[in-house]
């Protein structure tokens, strides 16, 4: 394959753009040669447009000295570009069908380590050897919250996340009161998310029904909720959003198995009107609620 897949920022000339297109054209041929198509069950759509790939790499803001954990290597198009911009890439892929293709595509890149398996079953500390790293991920919506929590509660947390998600999911991740949601809380308790690029559906193979977005999450030095209270934080949040149209006194009571009157007492003690709904609370208010539930008699 050669080492010609360079992002625009690293090349600065049109010859590298041509090389990128040639590499991607060869990758498409290899997909056909191996008889591979994205797996709908796994929510796969392969990103194969050079301009879109550059947007993802640019969002990662790599210096060239750090490590990258890529979740969802797919066909390897992004892995190639990451390999040229990072000291080390650990690419995790759950789909065993892609093993021969990825071995072929990534053979020229000794700084890439392929790991096949579910990221939720992997030890992030062992994968990244406790060195500073960024995460670049293209993951389906239904595991986004679980993956983020898995990464953020690891022994060594990433410095930033770059997530390629459906545009609607990006909007949910970056929501603010009064439109908060469980995904937004799951992200914003650990870092500050920002939509940094939009990717048209045509950049993917096969094209999904909706456009996508690149979300960068700059990770806080420490979570906004103390680590020892995170389990309670998520338990309260899940209960609060389990019945979004209900007042918090009722949704918390139902989700936590307590009487509405007791839930109302704790909400009032935390300075939150029991009649409010979960989507209207800020993270600071959730933090106050966690504190009050942790020390109900304090």
Assign residue 242 the CATH number of its domain: 1.10.8.100
Report yes or no on 168 lying in a domain.
Answer: yes
Report yes or no on 28 lying in a domain.
Answer: yes
Report yes or no on 1 lying in a domain.
Answer: no
Report yes or no on 119 lying in a domain.
Answer: yes
Quote the domain boundaries for residue 108: 8-219
Same domain, residue pair 186 and 98? yes
Same domain, residue pair 160 and 246? no
Q: What is the pLDDT of residue 276?
A: 97
Between CA 280 and CA 36 the distance in angstroms is: 45
Same domain, residue pair 208 and 235? no
Angle, CA of 209, 92 and 96, to the nearest 5°: 80
Q: Are 70 and 112 in contact (CB under 8 A)?
A: no
Q: What is the pLDDT of residue 226?
A: 94
Same domain, residue pair 177 and 272? no
Two structure tokens written together for 155 = 């022994």
Which of 219, 239, 264 marks a domain boundary? 219
Same domain, residue pair 64 and 122? yes
- pLDDT > 70 fraction of the chain, expressed in percent and rounded: 93
Contacts for 118 with CB less than 8 Å, ≥ 6 apart: 94
Same domain, residue pair 232 and 215? no
Compute CA distances 196 → 98, 101, 192, 298, whole Å.
29, 30, 12, 43
Same domain, residue pair 179 and 236? no
Angle, CA of 258, 262 and 268, to the nearest 5°: 135
Select from 215, 226, 244 the least CA-distant residue to 286: 226
Could you say which residues of the chain have pLDDT below 70?
1-17, 20, 298
- Our count of domains for the chain comes to 2
Q: What is the pLDDT of residue 282?
A: 97
Q: What is the pLDDT of residue 16?
A: 61
Two structure tokens written together for 50 = 């050079």
Same domain, residue pair 141 and 57? yes
Which of 191, 219, 247 marks a domain boundary? 219
Q: What is the pLDDT of residue 298?
A: 63
Report yes or no on 273 lying in a domain.
Answer: yes
Question: What are the backbone angles phi and psi of residue 208, rounded to the nearest 5°?
Answer: -70, 175
Same domain, residue pair 209 and 259? no
Same domain, residue pair 150 and 235? no
Q: What is the pLDDT of residue 41?
A: 83
CATH of the domain at 92: 3.40.50.150
Give the E-state strand segments of the chain in sequence order.
Answer: 46-47, 67-71, 88-93, 112-116, 133-138, 160-166, 191-199, 204-205, 212-219
Select from 77, 71, 83 the least CA-distant residue to 50: 77
Report yes or no on 3 lying in a domain.
Answer: no
DSSP-derived secondary structure for 98-138: GHHHHHHHHTT-TTEEEEES-GGGS-HHHHHTT--EEEEEE
Q: What is the pLDDT of residue 14?
A: 59
């Amino acid at each position: 394959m050669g080492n010609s897949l360079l992002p625009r920022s690293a090349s600065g000339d049109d010859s590298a753009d041509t090389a990128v297109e040639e590499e991607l054209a060869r990758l498409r041929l290899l997909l056909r040669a191996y008889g591979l198509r994205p797996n709908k069950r796994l929510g796969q759509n392969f990103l194969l447009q050079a301009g879109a790939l550059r947007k993802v790499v640019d969002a990662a803001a790599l210096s060239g000295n750090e490590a990258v954990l890529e979740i969802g290597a797919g066909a390897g198009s992004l892995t190639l570009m990451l390999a040229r911009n990072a000291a080390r890439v650990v690419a995790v892929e759950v789909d065993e069908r892609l093993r021969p293709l990825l071995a072929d595509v990534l053979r020229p890149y000794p700084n890439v380590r392929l790991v096949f398996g579910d990221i939720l079953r992997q030890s992030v500390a062992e994968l990244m050897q406790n060195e500073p790293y960024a995460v670049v991920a293209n993951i389906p919506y239904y595991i986004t919250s679980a993956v983020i929590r898995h990464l953020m509660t690891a022994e060594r947390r990433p410095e930033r996340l770059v997530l390629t998600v459906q545009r609607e999911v990006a909007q949910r991740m970056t929501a603010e009161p009064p439109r908060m949601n469980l995904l937004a809380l799951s992200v914003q308790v650990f870092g500050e998310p920002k939509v940094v690029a939009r990717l048209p559906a045509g950049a993917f193979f096969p094209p999904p029904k909706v456009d996508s977005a690149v979300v960068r999450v700059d990770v806080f030095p420490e979570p906004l909720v103390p680590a020892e209270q995170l389990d309670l934080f998520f338990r309260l949040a899940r209960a609060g959003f389990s019945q979004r149209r209900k007042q918090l006194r009722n949704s918390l009571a139902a989700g936590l198995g307590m009487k509405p009157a007791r839930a109302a007492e704790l909400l009032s003690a935390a300075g939150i009107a029991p009649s409010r709904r979960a989507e209207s609370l800020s993270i600071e208010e959730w933090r106050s609620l966690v504190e009050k539930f942790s020390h109900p008699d304090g």
